[in-house]
């Protein structure tokens, strides 16, 4: 599978936020609530990753509820690619 | 041909098949019916120790076994065995279902198919099987479909699940019409339970539902059981209805 790196996913995340006029901070500890990254933004990001890799990323909702920071988002998607 | 009801009331069910009867609401329905002297056939994918215990306590009135509701041949065999042991089945509770805990866009297509097969196709086929047996032998009977408030209100993460429950609500109405009063067909739609399926919603959403519920608490299986019992056992003219049990959270 053609996996995206953590840095590549970060770039896509910046694009998702950028399209809404928001800025992705450089700090992985930044809170999603503070930067306005919502659950549907996460879905958009996951679908962008799918577009790049050509692989569907399916996952259950409960795992998403533990995601609170930028780093959590990146970790989740890096791990998810490896699980598919 | 006339589609009007036949004049005689549908008698209370005396032998009831409960799908998904090994835990949660299904198990509570089985235990309640046994307490009321009803003979019960109950299957589930796995027979739990709790259902085994009931079978040991009621050897003459409970027929239990492992059946996957999507395995129609196994269900047919179970029904035949149950009727040999308990007598003709004249009540059905379609309770077996699987849940969902994923946003639609992130749900695998295979999982969507599995949810539809288990929660919609399988109960329709089980209903067909039982109705054919009852009609063919000139019996009257009662059917209760366990659906969900999800069929009437939207909740994220439950798209396919909600579609199946809405499908069963719709089937309930059409079947009640189709069976022309020879059988009573109704659905019971619980709100979210504090356990099981509701793990899908997360604490925040559950707290919101509780705040919006005039009765101040999430539905418990014990609060749904009497409604199912009434539809199976009491003399009413309720037919083709979906009865919501959610403390008015959805009102």
Chain segment B100-110, per-residue pLDDT in tens: 989 999 999 99
The residues spanned by each domain of chain B are 15-245
Chosen from A47, A55, A58 to mutate, greatest number of chain B CBs within 10 A: A58
> Closest-CA residue in chain A for B156?
A61
- pLDDT on residue B17: 98
Q: What mean pLDDT, rounded, does chain B reach?
A: 93
At B43, is the secondary structure helix, strand, or coil? strand
**Phi, psi at residue B189, to the nearest 5°?**
-115, 95
How would you label B138-171 residue by residue, b for 16+ Cβ within 10 Å and e otherwise?
A: ebbbbbbbbbbbbbbeebebbbbbbbbbbbbbeb
CB B245 within 8 A of CB B189: yes
Residue B221: CB atoms within 10 A of its CB come to 21
Q: Select from B16, B18, B171, B25 the least CA-distant residue to B94.
A: B18
The residues, any chain, with a CB within 8 Å of residue A80's CB and separated by 6 or more, are A46, A57, A59
Q: How far is B202 from chain A (nearest CA, A)?
A: 7
Q: Is there a contact between B101 and A59 if contact means CB atoms under 8 Å apart?
A: no
Chain A hits for B101, Cβ within 8 Å: 60-62
All domains in chain A, ordered by first residue: 6-83 (1.10.1200.10)
Task: State which residues of chain A have pLDDT below 50.
Answer: none
DSSP letters for B123-165 = HHHHHHHHHHHHHHTT--EEEEEE--GGGTS--TT-HHHHHHH
Q: Is there a contact between B102 and A61 if contact means CB atoms under 8 Å apart?
A: yes
- pLDDT on residue A2: 83
| CA A31 to chain CA centroid, nearest Å | 13
Which CATH architecture is the domain B15-245 placed in? 3-Layer(aba) Sandwich (3.40)
ipTM: 0.79
Task: State which residues of chain B have pLDDT below 50.
Answer: 198
């Amino acid at each position: 599978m053609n996996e995206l790196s953590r840095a590549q996913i970060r770039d896509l995340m910046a694009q998702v936020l950028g399209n809404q006029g928001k800025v992705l901070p450089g700090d992985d500890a930044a809170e999603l609530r503070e930067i306005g990254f919502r659950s549907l933004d996460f879905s958009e990001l996951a679908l962008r990753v799918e577009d790049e890799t050509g692989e569907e990323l399916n996952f259950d909702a409960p795992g998403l509820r533990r995601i609170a920071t930028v780093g959590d988002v990146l970790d989740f998607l890096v791990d998810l690619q490896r699980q598919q | 041909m006339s589609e009007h009801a036949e004049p005689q009331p549908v008698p209370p069910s005396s032998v009831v098949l409960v799908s998904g009867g090994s835990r949660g609401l299904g198990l509570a329905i089985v235990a309640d019916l046994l307490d009321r002297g009803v003979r019960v056939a109950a299957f589930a994918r796995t027979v739990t120790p709790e259902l085994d215990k009931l079978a040991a306590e009621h050897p003459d009135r409970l027929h239990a076994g492992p059946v996957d509701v999507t395995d129609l041949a196994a269900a047919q065999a179970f029904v035949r065995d149950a009727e040999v042991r308990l007598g003709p089945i004249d009540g059905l509770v379609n309770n077996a279902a699987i849940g969902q805990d994923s946003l639609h866009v992130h749900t695998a297509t295979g999982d969507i198919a599995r949810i539809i097969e288990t929660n919609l196709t399988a109960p329709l086929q089980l209903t067909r099987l039982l109705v054919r047996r009852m009609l063919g032998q000139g019996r009257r009977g009662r059917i209760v479909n366990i659906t969900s408030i999800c069929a009437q209100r939207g909740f994220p993460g439950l798209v396919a699940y909600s579609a199946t429950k809405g499908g069963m609500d719709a089937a309930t109405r059409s079947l009640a019409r189709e069976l022309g009063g020879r059988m009573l067909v109704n659905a019971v739609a619980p709100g979210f339970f504090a356990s099981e399926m509701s793990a899908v919603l997360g604490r925040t959403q559950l707290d919101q539902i509780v705040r919006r519920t005039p009765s101040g608490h999430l539905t418990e299986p014990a609060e749904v059981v009497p409604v199912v019992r009434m539809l199976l056992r009491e003399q009413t003219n309720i037919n083709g209805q979906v009865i919501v049990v959610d403390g008015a959270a959805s009102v």
